[in-house]
Amino acid sequence: MPTRVSPTDRIHRHIDDLFAQDRPLPEILEEVARLGAQLLMQAALEAEVTEFLGRDRYARAALTEDARPGSRNGYRDVTVKTTAGPVKLARPKLRGTTEAFASRLFGSHVTKTNALESLVIASFIRGLSVRDVEATLADALGDQAAISKSTVSSVCQAIKNEYQEWARRRLDDVTLDYLYLDASFFRMHPGSPAEPVLAAWGITTEGKPAFIGLAPGTGESADAWHSFLQDLKDRGLASPLLIISDGAPGLISAIEQAYPRALRQRCLIHRARNILAKIPAGMQAEVKDAYWKIFDIEELKTPPGPKLVEIIDARISEMAARYSATYPSAMKCLTTDAEGLTAYLRFPAEHHHRTRHSNFIERTFGETRRRVKVIGRLPGETSCLTLVWAVLDRASRGWRGLTMTADGLRLLQDLRRSLLEPPAQLRPRTVTDAQPEDHPETVRATA
């Protein structure tokens, strides 16, 4: 690690490396929570030094108004004893100052504090609120250990700025084969029910995962989803080949308006839940087995394409005929928008296990909801989005992509040409468009 890399950047990289490991997500998030505490405490120290000197790292005192004499002179490793165990920090060293620097949060020696829970809960869970951080630190450490508003604000604002920059970035250089759309509900406002956070992620033409968009939604209405997708288009996101989602009517309507050329796949897992909800408990196992056998194509030798879709359509009709007399509502659910259940069968077979459902980051959403549940609600929309984005952004760096084989790439290229780049229709030629040599009898008559 280069010596010029700051301790906070090292912690950031450690967090990113964790998500790149093939480990269970809950286990990773627990370790990230501890690193998050270390990151916030280290950032608080760095911010206090910046405030003390009156300038950022590498900023020259002569060019900075109200700067104090002195400069940074490396770091000294120290250990903070917390109720959750020791946390290692890099205490900044200064030289050439006219007065000694003492951290108002950790004291002169940075050896003992219980700010771990305070900073993590206040800054990440309670929504990165400056007022919350100040109140929690005062309760935990007492007024003598309080830090200034500017220090608290700089620590709390950093992740908000990251999210806002990410939410405004251009997407012209992102070309997707697959786009996944989903929503998760969080309580953001007092006295209000849970509200949706809309999310988009996908797989690029290189097979790499990409976290695309995140925004609040006023219900999963067509208008909310259309506004969300229109923002992605306005920032340069071109049409994908396949869009995978659940069957919410508003979402489907928005997809068809925003990206009419893309194929649309309804999540098979969501559809299974919808069907089983209309089946008595004693028969659910049988119907569930029958449903998933429809999409079992391992024994078939048919390659992806219209012929395979035709075979699965026949299986859907067969199951509907078998159970329609006993469970008409469930079978109506199965056959409604049946073409949306088979779109993935036109794509490479090695991708089917990831493109037939929208549960790409369901575990991550679930982990986020579990952490938020302990506090009841988040203090506002910005706090909620910041927390959800922070978790998903770090988690997305560990998502697995898709294998791109030579046959699969050819199939995807063919689909791209047929769906998104169809040849322009030639305008029929009329007699007035024709040249005289095309109609010699006309020339002779004129002569």
Residue by residue, DSSP assigns 216-243 as E-SSS-HHHHHHHHHHHHHTTPPP-SEE
Give the pLDDT confidence score for residue 25 in this predicted structure. Answer: 57
Residue of 124 and 67 predicted with greater confidence: 67
CA–CA dist 32, 133 (Å, integer) = 20
Amino acid at residue number 402: L
- Name, of 76-85, 88-97, 107-116, 119-128, the range with top average pLDDT: 88-97
Give the pLDDT confidence score for residue 26 in this predicted structure. Answer: 57
Per-residue buried b or exposed e for 353-387, using 16+ beta carbons within 10 Å of the residue's own CB: ebbbbbbbbeebbebbeeebeeeebbbebbbbbbb
Give the pLDDT confidence score for residue 339 in this predicted structure. Answer: 93
Instruction: Say whether pTM exceeds 0.75.
Output: no
Sign of the dihedral through C-alpha 186, 188, 194, 198: negative
Give the pLDDT confidence score for residue 7 in this predicted structure. Answer: 85
Residue of 107 and 348 predicted with greater confidence: 348
Residue 182 pLDDT greater than 80, yes or no: yes
Residue 41 pLDDT greater than 90, yes or no: no
Residue of 85 and 282 predicted with greater confidence: 282
Give the pLDDT confidence score for residue 429 in this predicted structure. Answer: 56
Give the pLDDT confidence score for residue 396 in this predicted structure. Answer: 74
337 φ/ψ sector (left φ>0, alpha ψ -120 to 50, else beta): left
CA–CA dist 122, 118 (Å, integer) = 6
Give the CA angle between residues 294, 296, 299 to the nearest 5°. 125
Task: Give me Rg for the CA atoms of the chain.
Answer: 29
Amino acid at residue number 374: V
Give the tens place of pLDDT for each residue, 291-345. 999 999 988 889 999 999 999 999 999 999 999 999 999 999 999 999 999 999 9
CA 368 and chain centroid, separation: 12
Q: Looking at residues 69-84, what average pLDDT do you find?
A: 75
Contacts of 437 (CB under 8 A, 6+ apart): 443
CA–CA dist 217, 254 (Å, integer) = 13
Amino acid at residue number 438: D
User: What average pLDDT does the structure give for the chain?
Assistant: 78
CA–CA dist 56, 290 (Å, integer) = 65
Give the tens place of pLDDT for each residue, 150-175. 555 555 566 677 888 999 999 999 99
Report the percentage of the chain scoring pLDDT > 70.
68
Contacts of 78 (CB under 8 A, 6+ apart): 88, 89, 90, 91, 109, 110, 111
Give the tens place of pLDDT for each residue, 342-365. 999 999 999 999 999 987 766 666
CA–CA dist 116, 131 (Å, integer) = 17
Residue 178: phi and psi, rounded to 5, are -125, 135
Q: Looking at residues 193-210, what average pLDDT do you find?
A: 90
CA–CA dist 259, 230 (Å, integer) = 10
Residue of 440 and 188 predicted with greater confidence: 188
Give the pLDDT confidence score for residue 29 in this predicted structure. Answer: 58
Give the tens place of pLDDT for each residue, 208-249. 999 999 998 876 688 999 999 999 999 999 999 999 998 888
End-to-end alpha carbon distance in the chain: 89
Count the Cβ atoms, other than its own, within 10 Å of residue 107. Answer: 14
CA–CA dist 432, 405 (Å, integer) = 51
Residue 250 pLDDT greater than 60, yes or no: yes
Amino acid at residue number 389: W
CA–CA dist 158, 176 (Å, integer) = 30
Residue of 416 and 70 predicted with greater confidence: 416
Count the Cβ atoms, other than its own, within 10 Å of residue 193. Answer: 9
Give the pLDDT confidence score for residue 440 in this predicted structure. Answer: 44
Which pair of structure tokens corresponds to residue 432?
A: 């007035």
Residue 49 pLDDT greater than 80, yes or no: yes
Give the pLDDT confidence score for residue 128 in this predicted structure. Answer: 40
Contacts of 296 (CB under 8 A, 6+ apart): none
Residue 441 pLDDT greater than 90, yes or no: no
Residue of 69 and 383 predicted with greater confidence: 69
pLDDT tier, 60 (very low <50, low <70, confident <90, very high otherwise): low
- Name, of 113-117, 139-143, 273-277, the range with top average pLDDT: 273-277
